[in-house]
Chains A and B, each alone.
Chain A
Amino acid sequence: MSKPIFEIVDSLPKGGPTVMALRSLDFAVPGQWDNLVGFDNTIKTVTGETDPALVQQIGERAVALYNDKSQGYQRALWLYETVDSASGMLGTAAMMNRIGQDTFLGFLKHVTPKPEKAQSLDLCVKLVTELVAFCQINGIPGDSVGDFVASLGDYSGESLMRMAALTCFDGLIPLGAGFTDKALSVIQGTSPSDIEGNQTFKGVRDLIPGKDAKQKHDFITESFGATKGWMDGFVASKGLTQANVLDHLSRFVEFSSDKLDYLGALLDVTVKYYRHTGVQTLARRLTERAYAEI
């Protein structure tokens, strides 16, 4: 049996590497994210209601909705968890690759992917995971790219923070300026069989629309192409650069700028922002629906 949703939300950390890394992005999305944790606390904050009996009633409906597997909430959580852990494995692979370039273990670079290519694919797969998880939570058919793009404009709170983290931690930091163009050209130049070897893709492949690797690859390419404009606009409107993101991040982790691919890998391994903010989104949506239905 999977863990109850109230325990999952209650056990979200109040501090640690993920929370600190996300806090460093407050300058990009000021005031949007305040690390809302705790099941009852989420209900009270989202609804503005404090009557214990009403909070309990909302909570009970939220638990029931989450436990009904046909409603997609458990699948969304699985996606958020899986993309984080698979991406952590990519981080380890990227570290191995970097070590391979620096030391006598040169042969390692032949067996681990090039960081830039792996990071590009990682970015594309993570973005598509967001799309699929969004549809599982909000109930819009899984391959409706247009609805997703329209909704991106209305992302706020922890969802906007997740997109900011994706843009900064999986785009700007490892790939630098013009990361969306780089990622798009990588995914376009990657064969369906290549993408099958990507760890992050392997983790979530079953829930990506498409009956075979080619269709899934097409879906990822189209989705990334369609949402690239939003990411470019986000970076431009917030004035985000690799330098200013690193500057804010350096307040919680020490690194030197010539070891950026180590940093990307370190973030991959230690920062689980997809799961953390994904649980927060899930709790918020469940609360909203539960209160509307009771």
Chain B
Amino acid sequence: MMTARWLKVLTALCLSVLLFVTACSKAPSSPYSQIQDETTGRGAPKAVAKAAEQGSSFNRFFPDSKSYNVIPSQEKKGFAEYKVNKDGKTVAMLSINDTTSLPTAALKYKSSTSTVAGYPSVEQGTTTTGILVGDRYQVKVISRDPSFTQEERVAWLQRFDLNGLASLSPNTAKATLPEVVPSQQPQSSPLRRLLPQPAM
């Protein structure tokens, strides 16, 4: 009787130790484990700063083209991106981002020895050329096809309205989009609610 009781206690004890040990064992580590820990949980820093410019403020500074299709791709707080398509294929990406959210992105221009249109420029990896405008806004052209060369990236960077971007007063540019109200008339065409399209 006594033995059976002790066995029960022992089993419970063993189970507890087992649970304790397995709970403490580390999950397989990944090169991204550290950033995962740093950006999750209570009080984790946001990836996008509150003070970052609205992405819609950047749309008017992107270049247009007659021989390429320039199509809006992403627009988030502090960021806007366009695709450059030729013959239905994406050959490059154009982007503007507010480095307020990621100051290290601006830091790399401090040691820059080259310029494009008077702004410090850097080459990143094998596909990217970037410049920093007004010490704050990063403009990049990223090749998506080998035919889109570094010279073309530099040429496209110069087609942005860089002076306009440099004079963008932080957080004062207002979105020009009208407020969208839910339709009360299901039969009417949704086209009347179209938002203005960014430059194509």
Is A1 located at the chain interface by the 8 A CB criterion?
Answer: yes
CA distance A141 to B195 in the complex (A): 9
Nearest chain A residue, comparing its CB with the CB of B31: A56
Contact of B90 among A59, A156, A217, A218 (CB under 8 A): A156
- Given A143-B180, A292-B97, A64 contacting B74 (CB threshold 8 A): no
Nearest chain A residue, comparing its CB with the CB of B143: A48
Contact of B193 among A59, A67, A143, A293 (CB under 8 A): A143
Q: Are A292's CB and B93's CB within 8 A?
A: yes
- Given A65-B47, A68-B47, A291-B142, A139 contacting B55 (CB threshold 8 A): yes
Is B116 located at the chain interface by the 8 A CB criterion?
Answer: no
Is B190 located at the chain interface by the 8 A CB criterion?
Answer: yes
Is B149 located at the chain interface by the 8 A CB criterion?
Answer: no
Instruction: Report the minimal beta-carbon distance from A175 to chain B, rounded to whole angstroms.
Output: 22
Nearest chain A residue, comparing its CB with the CB of B175: A141
Residues of A within 8 A of B44 (CB): 67
Contact of A63 among B35, B46, B93, B127 (CB under 8 A): B35
Contact of B126 among A48, A209, A218, A292 (CB under 8 A): A48
Q: Are A71's CB and B31's CB within 8 A?
A: no
Residues of A within 8 A of B93 (CB): 288, 292
Is A145 located at the chain interface by the 8 A CB criterion?
Answer: yes
Instruction: Report the minimal beta-carbon distance from B27 to chain A, rounded to whole angstroms.
Output: 9
Contact of B197 among A141, A147, A221, A285 (CB under 8 A): A147
Q: Are A288's CB and B81's CB within 8 A?
A: yes
CA distance A26 to B40 in the complex (A): 39
Residues of A within 8 A of B127 (CB): 47-49
Instruction: Report the minimal beta-carbon distance from A130 to chain B, rounded to whole angstroms.
Output: 16
- Given A6-B32, A145-B190, A292-B93, A222 contacting B183 (CB threshold 8 A): yes
Q: Are B143's CB and A215's CB within 8 A?
A: no
Nearest chain A residue, comparing its CB with the CB of B89: A156
CA distance A39 to B76 in the complex (A): 22
- Given A47-B127, A56-B31, A67-B39, A292 contacting B79 (CB threshold 8 A): yes
CA distance A19 to B152 in the complex (A): 38
User: Which of chain B's residues 160-200 have a Cβ closer than 8 Å to chain A?
Assistant: 177, 180, 182-184, 186, 190-191, 193-195, 197
Contact of B40 among A1, A48, A147 (CB under 8 A): A1
- Given A70-B46, A146-B193, A288-B74, A54 contacting B124 (CB threshold 8 A): yes
CA distance A141 to B101 in the complex (A): 22
Q: Can you list 29 contacts pairing A with B, beta carbon distance less than 8 Å?
A: A1-B40, A39-B32, A56-B31, A60-B32, A67-B39, A68-B48, A71-B76, A138-B73, A139-B76, A139-B77, A141-B195, A144-B180, A144-B193, A144-B195, A147-B72, A147-B194, A209-B182, A210-B182, A211-B182, A215-B182, A218-B184, A218-B186, A219-B183, A289-B76, A292-B79, A292-B140, A293-B97, A294-B105, A294-B124
What residues make up the interface of B, taking CB atoms closer than 8 Å to A?
Answer: 30-32, 35-36, 38-41, 44, 46-48, 55, 71-77, 79, 81, 83, 85, 90, 93, 95, 97, 101-102, 104-105, 124-128, 138, 140, 142-144, 177, 180, 182-184, 186, 190-191, 193-195, 197
A-B complex: 4 closest residue pairs judged by Cβ atoms: A146-B194, A292-B95, A68-B47, A139-B76
Query: With contacts A1-B41, A292-B93, A293-B102 known, what are 5 further pairs, Cβ within 8 A?
Result: A138-B75, A219-B182, A289-B74, A293-B97, A294-B105
